[in-house]
Amino acid sequence: MTSESIDATPDLTRLPLFTQPLPTIGPRASSTPRLLGTPRAADDSPAVGVDWTLVASLRAQASEQLSQAVAADRTRLDRAAQEELGRSIVLDLIESAVADRVNAGDRAWPLGQQKALARAVFDSLFRLGRLQPLVDNDDVENIIIAGHDNVMLELIDGSLVDGPSVADSDEELIDFLVFLASRSEVNARGFSEAQPRLHLRLDGGSRLAAAAWVTPRPSVVIRRHRLMQVTLDDLVERQMLTPVAASFLRAAVRARKSVVVAGSQGAGKTTMVRALCGEIDPMEAIGTFETEYELHLHELKRHKIVHPWEARPGSGERGPDGRMAGEFTLDDALVDSFRFNLSRQIVGEVRGKEIWAMIKAMESGTGSISTTHASDAVGAVRKLVTCAMEAGPHVTHDLAASKLAATIDLIVQLDLRTSTVNGVSQRRRRVAEIIALEPGERETGYATTHIFAPDRDGTAVPAVLPEEFRSLASYGFDLPSYLMHQEVRS
């Protein structure tokens, strides 16, 4: 075998991925799940599953050799060079193992099994180990782990199926998560009994959330972002919103309205923000502010200038100012960004007091976009008020409400529904509401208007258009179609 035998990009026709239809939900037939789509050997007999004990042994040897080689090299090897060196080491180790088997009188592993083993060792060194085949599978949207041998796969149609064990024990799974959190060269994160939660971006854009020591068994959820290069027109084709709603949102972004995208988990908020950002002029300078990179606007190459900021949790004891050593917050990033001549500031998910970063962004400029979790659009406003009040007792309800009403122009509410028709699960995401927010009622501190309200099937359709939004016609809003649909609905 040569170094070319392991490609930099996984070859789905050769590697032991779950590329065939996955089994239905139910008790596992055995404690060792069958690797579907396992490559066939030269004699066309199915290659057996990967021996993970052997993978662990080879990984340890490869890691030691790689560390020695890197230390001995006077020039600092970049990641690509280390991976290429790692491939060569892995293949040499497997050739030696095969030779040892033959010398001992055992049959050599089939070529397909050698390739599967090489990929598994390489993934354990540089990728996600036993999780990598699941992350590579385009049929899988979410990976849900509640213990090393209790794995569920949520497919793109909304169905749930059993997945394979991702470690031989809970302790091994935790050890791998600790390794995964610490190996980042740019933004390493701690994961320990003192820091029992982990939020991490993965290569390729997936997001990992994990908890251990505070749960009976280690819990992990990996969300894959399937739609990266996406536009509002793409979402119309997927029936996520109507053409007239798309024209309104397109015009709102071009007119520099500040927008919050709300919805439940998995409703498509990040995808919608990417589509909205696609309407920003390519020459505008954009700053993104996220706890973990999810938007990846700096990698999509749509815009000439994108400055991405990512928060860092810090570690160790808190200092006199109450902050951990190395901590870098969204507020810190926002303050820094004021020196970068930004045209737009895009703040990622708002879950708590980081909402003040979003408010500052919207006060400092125009056309900001952010996301939050909420079950409906008006509820999103109440949720954001509560988040703002988490900053401390000095933030009253009236202050929070007035700030939000003065800075947010629109809230786009997404809806996610999963239904079963003739035994087949179907998942539908759609824009359910678009409301305008403005200062108003004394009790709440704000007033809302449904520009698009949910129809009987949950799809957002024209409702009431405030006078100030009619000017969006000059930015491409299809006002005649809106008024026509509004009249038909009334």
Number of H helices, E strands in the chain: 14, 17
Domain boundaries, the chain: 1-126, 128-226, 232-489
pLDDT averaged over 10-residue windows placed end to end, the chain, 490 residues:
39 32 32 32 44 87 87 76 90 92 89 90 88 88 94 84 92 90 68 88 82 96 82 93 96 95 90 94 93 84 92 74 78 86 88 80 82 93 91 87 92 88 76 94 86 92 95 95 81
Nearest to 194, CA basis, from 62, 3, 23, 324:
324
pLDDT value of position 380: 94
Q: Do domains 128-226 and 232-489 have the same CATH topology?
A: no
Residues 6+ apart with CB under 8 A from 392: none
pLDDT value of position 462: 95
Q: How wide is the angle at C-alpha 327 spanned by C-alphas 323 and 329, nearest 5°?
A: 100
C-alpha 379/C-alpha 259 separation (Å) is: 15
pLDDT value of position 45: 33
Q: Does domain 232-489 have CATH number 3.40.50.300?
A: yes
| Alpha helices for 375-478 (secondary structure H) | 377-389, 397-407
C-alpha 424/C-alpha 340 separation (Å) is: 50
Instruction: Fill in the DSSP letter of residue 413.
Output: E
pLDDT value of position 36: 29
Q: Residue 156 carries which side chain, given as an amino acid letter?
A: I
C-alpha 342/C-alpha 305 separation (Å) is: 9
This prediction has a pTM of 0.73
pLDDT value of position 456: 87
Tokens 């926002």 appear where?
334
pLDDT value of position 187: 59
CATH number of 128-226: 3.30.450.90
C-alpha 177/C-alpha 432 separation (Å) is: 37
Nearest to 337, CA basis, from 328, 325, 350, 324:
328
Query: Which secondary structure element, helix H or strand E, spans residue 83, and what is its range?
Result: helix 79-103
At what angle are helices 397-407 and 377-389 packed, to 10 degrees? 130
